[in-house]
Structure 1
């Protein structure tokens, strides 16, 4: 089994208030990168029957803030397949956001997702039938 170009996996996650580290309930960028790691792991499992290893990022762009109370949709798509490596296009969108001005538990589903992070990542998997990694 080998991952194919176009394989896409998406996870949704609520961003808890416990992850807010900055004023305005802002969440650090590492939170979203952690989500990309989870999604990349599923890409490896689905595409290569192995958890693989997220080896690194060649590009990361933080486009808008992530806030506590957001619902994030994190996705990775396989855009290139090497012998042991997979190049992934990763992105995260806010699909719902807290609305504290209306009340402590108010929230809205956004009419259009808000793209907050984009990245390019390299995923490494063992050769089929081995446990050896690059």
Structure 2
């Protein structure tokens, strides 16, 4: 059985967009440190989620879409200049024009200045820094291109 045209697909409908996960990695430059200890503001990671959500929209709907907002954001660990962040979004709900995304960012490598000016280390396991739930909006089928 499939959902009516105006109802969002459910997991049992087998929507191939559900579960799609996109990941980006980015080095956090020292120019983005705003606070003592080379800390980077939380908006930096939210910006990464916006980039990842844009790729999700392109993959699922052939349009860049718009990250409309967050219903939850949790800052779990500091992000520092010299980190390598891995930001990911997974499609967890598909509506007619909206997509709910589960987002997370992990620090996978971190600068280690105590060992030297350019020293760094991989973090095993990665450090979960931010989790969020976001809403992505895409044009409807009747929207002009």
Please classify the TM superposition score into its range, dividing by the shorter chain length.
over 0.9
The structure with the largest strand share of the pair is 1
Distance 2:144 2:79 in 1: 37
Which of 27, 33, 46 does residue 59 from structure 2 map onto? 46
Is 1:29–2:64 an aligned residue pair? no
Instruction: Identify which range, 2-11 or 13-22, moves more after superposition.
Output: 2-11
For structure 1, the 5+ residue unaligned runs are: none
Instruction: Identify which range, 123-132 or 11-20, moves more after superposition.
Output: 123-132
Is 1:127–2:140 an aligned residue pair? yes
Asked whether the 8 Å contact 1:3–1:46 carries over to 2, the reply is: no
Normalised to the residue count of structure 2, the TM-score between the two structures is 0.87
Distance 1:131 1:28 in 2: 37
Asked whether the 8 Å contact 1:3–1:44 carries over to 2, the reply is: no
CA 22–3 in structure 1, closer or farther in 2 if over 3 Å, else same: farther
For structure 2, the 5+ residue unaligned runs are: 1-14
2:92 is paired with a residue whose SS is: strand
**Runs of 4+ with >4 A deviation:** none
Normalised to the residue count of structure 1, the TM-score between the two structures is 0.94
Q: Aligned ranges for residues 60-79 of structure 1 at < 5 Å?
A: 60-79=73-92
Distance 2:125 2:142 in 1: 43
Is 1:96–2:109 an aligned residue pair? yes
CA deviation map 1:18-66 (0-9, x unaligned): 0000000000000000000000000000111000000000000000000
CA deviation map 1:54-106 (0-9, x unaligned): 00000000000000000000000000000000000000000000000000100
What's the CA shift for 1:111? 1.3
Answer with 1 or 2: which has the greater Rg.
2
